[in-house]
Amino acid sequence: MGFQDFVTIGGWNIFVTLFNTLITFLIVKFLLFKPVRKVLAARAEEVQNMYDQAEADLNEAAKMKKDYAESIANAKKEANEITQSATRRATVRSEEILAEANRQVQDMKKKAEQSIEQERKKAMNEIKDEIAGLSVMIASKVVEKDINEADHKRMIEDFIDKVG
């Protein structure tokens, strides 16, 4: 066989070349393309799953952010309500304390006035008793002796000194 046999295009050569190309194509297709396509499909699915997971994570993060913002708002609202409630209770309590203090002051003032009135009446009664006793004593002295004007003035001054 010479060089010519390899270079010539013959019927069988074309047929064998086409057949070899077909067999090579089928072998490459089944042994190479299908596994590569499976790997590419698996990788594409993995990438899609990663995108889906990332989107789900973003949605969850957004939901958590929203929930956090709501809980912060609720906490602030509750803190304001607690502060307002405490302020109202403190105001009411201070008013109660002031009212009680005013009532006690009024009671003490009333008791003091009553005590002063009783002491005044007691002092007046004692003065009346003493005046009555002194009057009796003066009357008895007057009866015992004749009183002149100087003695009368002296007795009045003595009486005033004792009472006064």
User: For residue 28, is it within any domain?
Assistant: yes
Alpha helices in the chain (DSSP H): 3-7, 11-28, 34-144, 149-163
Contact predicate 162/134, CB 8 Å = yes
Residue at 23 is within a domain:
yes
Q: Read off the tokens for 79.
A: 């803190």
Taking the CB of residue 82, how many other CB atoms lie within 10 A of it?
10
Q: How many angstroms separate the CA atoms of 33 and 24, rounded?
A: 12
Count Cβ neighbours within 10 Å for each residue of 111-124 and write b for 16 or more, e otherwise: eeeeeeeeeeeeee
Contact call for residues 137 and 159 (beta carbons, < 8 A): no
Contact yes or no for 155/137 (Cβ under 8 A): no
Q: How far apart are CA 80 and CA 54, in angstroms?
A: 38
CA 103 from centre of chain: 33
Report field, pTM of the whole predicted structure over 0.85: no
Residue 160 domain-assigned? Answer: no
Domains in the chain, number: 1
With respect to residue 108, please indicate whether it lies within any of the assigned structural domains.
Answer: yes
Q: Is residue 58 part of a domain?
A: yes
Confidence at residue 43, expressed as pLDDT on a 0 to 100 scale: 95
Provide the token pair at 112. 């003091």
Asked if residue 138 is part of any domain, the answer here is: no
pLDDT along the chain (164 residues), means of 10: 58 82 88 85 95 94 94 94 94 93 93 92 83 73 65 76 71
Examine residue 51 and state whether it is found in any structural domain, yes or no: yes
Q: Between vectors from CA 125 to CA 123 and to CA 129, what angle results, nearest 5°?
A: 115
For residue 127, is it within any domain? no
Domain that holds residue 88: 10-122
Asked if residue 147 lies in contact with residue 141, where contact means CB atoms within 8 angstroms, the answer is yes
Dihedral sign, Cα of residue 143, residue 145, residue 146, residue 149: negative
